[in-house]
Amino acid sequence: MRHGGTRHTPVVLPLVLGALVLLTGCDGSSDGAGATSAAPPTAQDRLAQARDALAGAGSVQLGLTGTDLPEDEPSYVVSAQGAGTTEPPAFDGTITVRMSGVQAEVPTIATDGELWVQLPFAPSYVLSDPEELGVPDPATLLDPGTGLAGLLEQTEDPALGERTRAGEELLQLVEGTLPGEEVVGLLGAGDEEGVFDVVYGLVEESWELRTVEISGPFYPPATSTYALTLDGYGEPVTVTRP
């Protein structure tokens, strides 16, 4: 009897150990090769989140600054500062423009598809044509479908960039390119056949679009940059026709 017991022990032990290994492999808590995990968000996913946040904001504060702008261009926007609503698209602020070599700050109200400006030395606002002034209608920037929110969807080859800090906020940068026709349609300047580089700064956690930097042939052959800052999402803003 001792002889039979001695022979079976080496056979039973590997079987028991093998069963334990199989049971462990079937455990849902295992981190083995069979376990599944959600793929990390892509750059396109983050842009979609930023689009939803902006389109649903209701209102924002907006700032714009241009750099490397050509001195010999007859008219262009230097900067802008103001606030607006997304539903309906409207803007109230000041646009700094350069016209015929003269730089001026122009109080501007854009609402109901109309652009009202108070030109230098003028006593009141006058209804104006954006094309004649050489400036875009700033309300179009806030349109949830075709404005900055829509521009996010037109970004080509988006890629996650660095993470950077802006004050107390941590921003995830997303880099890509934009077709010239999309840029011209929004900002009213640029080469429609050109390609523009764009860098977005998205606030981590909320994924609000905080910064936009677009560089390219706004006034060819020069390469210029327009940088936008958006904040104050959802803060009360009222825009009324003058």
Residues 6+ apart with CB under 8 A from 161: 172, 173, 174, 175, 199
3-state secondary structure of 131: helix
> Is 187 in contact with 147 (CB distance < 8 Å)?
no
At residue 14, the pLDDT reads 43
Give Cα separations from 81 to 42, 51, 62, 77 (angstroms).
Answer: 32, 21, 6, 11
Which parts of the chain register pLDDT below 50? 1-3, 5-30, 32
Kindly tell me the burial class for residue 240, based on how many C-beta atoms sit within 10 Å of its own C-beta (0-12, 13-18, 19 or more).
Answer: exposed
pLDDT in tens, 53-87: 999 999 999 999 999 999 888 888 999 999 999 99
Question: What ranges do the domains of the chain cover?
Answer: 43-231
In 3D space, the residue among 129, 55, 54, 142 whose CA is nearest the CA of residue 93 turns out to be 142
At residue 44, the pLDDT reads 97
Level-2 CATH architecture, domain 43-231:
Clam (2.50)
> Is 94 in contact with 105 (CB distance < 8 Å)?
yes
At residue 36, the pLDDT reads 60
